[in-house]
Amino acid sequence: AKSYNIVVLPGDGIGPEVTGEAVRVLQLAADKCGFELKLSSHDFGGIAIDNHGKPLPDSTIAACEASDAMLLGAVGGPKWGVGKVRPEQGLLALRVHFDLYANVRPALFPSKSLLSLSPLKESVAEGTDLIVVRELVKGLYIGEKTEADLTPGAAGEAADVMRYNRADVERITRLAAFLALQSSPPKKLHSIDKANVLACSRLWRHVVQETVDREFAAQGVEVDHQLVDSAAMVIVSNPRKLNGIVLTENMFGDILSDESSVIPGALGLLPSASLSGLPDGKQKCRGLYEPIHGSAPDIAGQGIANPVGTILSAAMLCRYSLGETRAADAIEAAVRQMLDARADGGDEVRTRDLHGQAGSKDVGDAVCARLEKLL
């Protein structure tokens, strides 16, 4: 049987709670589909600062190097604050170390019964189907930084540099177009920038258009360009207008992907994949899979976190890094059935963020029970 080496990075706060459920689901899918998993957990984030003095210890990097894919919970929390050594630095370092330049964040299509839980009017949320593709290793996150001198009397000036080049924009555009071409007809690309102000955005807009014209127009891929401020408004007022692939740079993508979680109704539902290349099965594509939410310190340790975003991240892991499509499809179907159980006469299993009573474990159990039947 095929065997895969999966590194689990539970991290901080609700991280261990949500990865615990996702690993149970992943293991069951593997057993049923006939592949083997070698799972190992490693310290990462705040817990790694406590145990090793830094958020991304060498032993964790070595384990990730040797893995076929990485599954992450979340990092950070009030214990580590925004001091000199921060858990979040580990996440940025991991992204850069493996050159995980493409962050794919689908805003889960709301199941019929979830639609009523969306804070948006049903008529607004209905039919939304968008995927945010966020550039992940350049921009303000990574450019040169000047920390402010905060001692009294000092000028206290800080700087973060945003820098993009042609190759950076070309490769993320190719990945977005690859995803667009998975559908027939191809999904539309909506490139988001601030080209009326930023030089990086003028480069971005030009290179996105040029790459699509040169390499993808003949296959029917189309792109339009929008300014980020107005796109932020459209996401919550008429999100169907952005159906397709929302392609954007690092920080805009961070903000727009949290915002788009409003559409299905909860941050805890949304998964992500961070990839180092096209997931076309032709070459090994490294991937880090994690929910888009953080460590939710306000609810950590209570067993009530919604593990759906992490479970769906595990499905993306099967699809993009393992090529185990059947397992991926079944996990996604099991989640959808669970959220929509009333449709077949049962009760939905929902955590509190979805106005339910279920705990994280109940959700894991319910997904596993459905997976048993599906596979």
Stretch that binds ligand NAD, among 31-39, 178-186, 295-303, 363-371 (CB under 6 A): 295-303
Cβ atoms of 295 and 4 closer than 8 Å: no
Alpha-carbon gap, residue 282 to 279, rounded angstroms: 8
Stretch that binds ligand NAD, among 155-163, 181-189, 241-249, 303-311 (CB under 6 A): 303-311
Catalytic residue among 254, 289, 320, 353: 254
Between 254 and 362, CB nearer to Mn ion:
254
Q: Footprint of Mn ion on residues 234-263 (CB under 5 A)?
A: 254
Catalytic residue among 4, 141, 289, 320: 141
Query: Would you state the structure tokens that stand for residue 89, as one six-digit string?
Result: 């630095």
Among positions 12, 254, 332, 348, the unique one binding ligand IPM when judged by CB under 6 A: 254
Say whether residue 190 binds ligand NAD (CB under 6 A): no
Catalytic residue among 194, 289, 320, 362: 194
Q: Is 194 a catalytic residue?
A: yes
Among positions 91, 267, 314, 367, the unique one binding ligand IPM when judged by CB under 6 A: 91
Distances in whole angstroms, Cα of residue 140 to Cα of each of 52, 200, 283: 28, 11, 30
Question: Which run of H or of E encompasses 18?
Answer: helix 15-33
Q: Is 4 a catalytic residue?
A: no
Say whether residue 273 binds ligand IPM (CB under 6 A): no
Per-residue x/- track, 279-298, ligand IPM (CB under 6 A) = -------------x------
Q: Is 164 a catalytic residue?
A: no
Between 186 and 309, CB nearer to ligand IPM:
309
Which listed option, ligand NAD, ligand IPM, Mn ion, none, makes contact with residue 268 (CB within 5 to 8 Å by class)? Answer: ligand NAD
CA dihedral for 297, 299, 304, 305, sign (positive or negative) = negative
Would you call 221 exposed, middle or buried from its count of C-beta atoms within 10 A (0-12, 13-18, 19+)?
Answer: buried
Query: Would you state the structure tokens that stand for residue 338, as one six-digit string?
Result: 């669970």
Q: Is 254 a catalytic residue?
A: yes
Between 141 and 204, CB nearer to Mn ion:
141
Query: Would you state the structure tokens that stand for residue 166, as one six-digit string?
Result: 């042609």
Cβ atoms of 285 and 325 closer than 8 Å: no
Q: Footprint of ligand IPM on residues 176-235 (CB under 6 A)?
A: none
Say whether residue 261 binds ligand NAD (CB under 6 A): no
Cβ atoms of 243 and 208 closer than 8 Å: no
Cβ atoms of 91 and 292 closer than 8 Å: no
Q: How far is CA 69 from the centre of its chain?
A: 14
361 contact partners, CB below 8 Å, separation of at least 6: 21, 303
DSSP annotation of 215: I
At residue 203, what are phi and psi to the nearest 5 degrees?
-60, -50
Q: Footprint of ligand IPM on residues 58-87 (CB under 6 A)?
A: 76
Among positions 54, 61, 88, 336, the unique one binding ligand IPM when judged by CB under 6 A: 88
Alpha-carbon gap, residue 221 to 186, rounded angstroms: 6
Quote the Cα angle for 338-340-343, to 5°: 120
Contacts with ligand NAD by CB under 6 A lie at: 14, 18, 74-77, 88, 91, 267-268, 290, 293-299, 305-306, 309, 353
Contacts with ligand IPM by CB under 6 A lie at: 76, 88, 91, 254, 292
**Active centre residues (catalytic):** 141, 194, 229, 254, 258
Contacts with Mn ion by CB under 5 A lie at: 254
